[in-house]
Amino acid sequence: MQISGTTRITGLFGHPVRHTFSPAMHNAAFEKLKLDYVYLPFEVRPEDLTQAVAALRPLGLAGINVTIPHKEAVLPLLDEISEEAALMGSANTIRVSAEGLKGYNTDAYGYETSLREEAGLVLAGKRVFVMGAGGASRAVAFQSAFSGAAEVVIADVVPARAEALCAAVAGRFPACRVAPCAADSRAVERTVAAKDLFVNATPVGMKAEDPRLIDVAWLTPGAVVFDVIYNPQQTRLLREAAARGLQTLNGIGMLVHQGARAFEIFAGTPAPVETMRGVIRERFGA
């Protein structure tokens, strides 16, 4: 890759960003298509987000991805937001143009596409349990309801967060049964047993010393277990679920497909999805 005076800059705002695979994935895609773009990680603290976003146009960036903890906080800083970003109350992609800054949410697209391609699971009519009520959870919950899920249950260690997200989803999709669940083990055990899909949208499992999220024996046979974490590739939740014979998938597919959609927003051309997936597989030695 050669950097010149005409190279367009894209990248990632987050805190932290040292663990991210996005630069390798996007830069490989730009190189594959011989596009004069580069993707860089930017460590942006919450107190610096306003200034960082304001600098996007003066510095001439083409676009930026946004990750934890900025997905919701970035919305009021934008000139325009897409329908899905407005619906979910969070944005993970910003396109910079002469008209201003437009926010998008590609997480929901990545979530549904990954489920369909890797697990053969169609969300219509399904009963979904989501652990967590943060930015990724919003994408999971809203996309599930939008795609016709029969039920979405959300649990969070901060009950008010789960209740607020449930109210937001139910307000837009009254045909979907949406309810909060207490995050204690007894409540989760009672509620999760009849669900078709269990989604971990929390950071629990990123560290080897993290506690067990749930007892997979509570899950119904035939349930799909989806952990949005992609590093490590196999969390404790996924290992235990697989050992019980449940179908599992991690966040790699969601990462690749949300990244591919963001790439298309930045560059205005279809992304080389298999090139992007290959980079992630190489990083994991798979």
Active site residues: 71
How buried is 201 (Cβ within 10 angstroms: 0-12 exposed, 13-18 middle, 19+ buried)? Answer: buried
Tokens 């349990």: give the residue: 129
CA-closest candidate to residue 192, choices 110, 238, 134, 127? 127
Tokens 């652990």: give the residue: 131
DSSP at 133: -
Between the alpha carbon of residue 76 and those of residues 49, 79, 160, 228, the distances in Å are 11, 8, 22, 26
| Identity of residue 7 | T
Residues 144, 128: contact at Cβ < 8 Å? yes
CA distance 262 to 279: 16
